[in-house]
Amino acid sequence: MSESLTEFKHSQPLSLGVELELQLLSQRDYDLTRGATDLLGSMKYDGRFGEIKLEITESMIEVSTLARTTADGIASDLEGLRQTLVSQCAQNNIAICGGGTHPFHSWPERRICPSERFDAFYDRYGYLAKQFTVFGQHIHVGCTSADQAIWLTQALGPYVPIFIALSAASPFVDGVDTFFQSARLNAVSAFPLSGQCPELNDWADFVEHFSFLKSCGIVTSIKDLYWDIRPKPEFGTVEIRVCDTPLTVGLATALAALAQCLSRFLLRTRPEFNTRQQLYVARYNKFQACRYGFDAMLSDPVRRQQIPLKEVLVELLDLISEDAEELGCTAWLDQIKDAVDNKTSDANWLRGRHAIHKGLNDVVRESAQRFANMFNMAAEDEKR
């Protein structure tokens, strides 16, 4: 095995873990603020809900849940992390919110967090490191073996557009409407090892592929692979990496529930799929989901036709309903069904608030209120 790959840790099948990258905001104008190091240094937290840690720039913070067997367990951890951060941030005159991009920050003003790893990242990628001040949700699904993880990594690949459309929360960049539902992934795509997992047969094939990249000087660790979905051997998981950070922890939980139910369905039914054919259309379908969200048209390489993403998603939710019931996720998937029926994406919510306020500072302020579960109260105060 390559020296740079840890042994694949066998985890409980279909266990879940969630990471959220969150925005730290000035309460004066709701621009990003450089507060991560000071916030973490003053924080009193015992780790009961998972980790709170630094990310690439001082304007970001990352939270990660404990490994849980149920979506309800993930919900409990995310709620605990949310309450902890909202309270601690308030004591430091900082606001916090979700969303895939900050709508109007200036990337040259960002400061790289002090860390040997982050310094090396900045040295290697230059300005891209500061432009990487974008915010995503990563979902881990436990696998029983390394070979299963490689199979599931590729089996989940065709569903990348579904997760993008459901989580889309980054319509604004540099103070303008991008016309995208998820503009965040355009920043990720700038990195040379972003995109799709190549066609692989098993774990041995992955190790050989990784060793090839390492010998060519392209990678030093698995963290250099910015694939949409990748195996995570030290956790014994497959990691879905394409979601924008939602505006609420409720949606973040629903996305984790979807990942768990879909993974169970795929492992239970073992559908045949042609990875090479899927790779031919993967970039196009990903673009469609980023650009149009629920209105995307996906190319089906088997039937050689285009199908509305919404139609694919409705059919998928029906297919995995049995798995949702077995896993206790029916209520979480019902939230997704409601979002699909009503096209209530976070990106649409952000555009709707902008249409009301005509300014992005107030949009971010209300995003922070929404994350803190105070948005409805604030809206009522405005009416009065």
State the burial class of residue 34 (Cβ atoms within 10 Å of its Cβ: 0-12, 13-18, 19+).
Answer: middle
> Is-contact 309 294, C-beta < 8 A?
yes
**In this structure, what are the phi and psi dihedrals at residue 123, rounded to the nearest 5 degrees?**
-65, -35
The pLDDT of residue 377? 47
CA 307/CA 314 separation, integer angstroms: 12
The pLDDT of residue 5? 78
99 Cα distance to chain centroid: 10
CA 168/CA 148 separation, integer angstroms: 29
Give whole-number Cα distances, 17 to 149, 200, 237, in Å: 15, 25, 9
In DSSP terms, which residues pair with 231 in a beta bridge?
Answer: 238
Identity at 40, one-letter amino acid code: L
The pLDDT of residue 6? 76
- How do 194-195 and 226-227 pair as beta strands? parallel
The pLDDT of residue 2? 47
CA geometry: angle at 327 spanning 326 and 332, to 5°? 115
CA 384/CA 365 separation, integer angstroms: 18
The pLDDT of residue 4? 58
The pLDDT of residue 274? 86
Domains of the chain as residue ranges with CATH? 16-371 (3.30.590.20)
Query: In the chain, which ranges are E strands?
Result: 16-26, 50-54, 60-65, 94-97, 136-142, 172-173, 176-177, 194-195, 226-227, 229-232, 237-244, 297-300, 305-308
Contacts of 52 (CB under 8 A, 6+ apart): 40, 43, 45, 61, 62, 63, 81, 84, 85
Number of other CB atoms surrounding residue 26 within 10 Å: 16
In DSSP terms, which residues pair with 54 in a beta bridge?
Answer: 61
Profile the chain (384 residues) by mean pLDDT over runs of 10 residues.
71 97 97 96 94 96 98 98 96 96 96 91 93 96 97 97 98 98 96 93 95 94 94 97 98 98 98 90 98 98 95 98 98 97 96 97 98 69 44
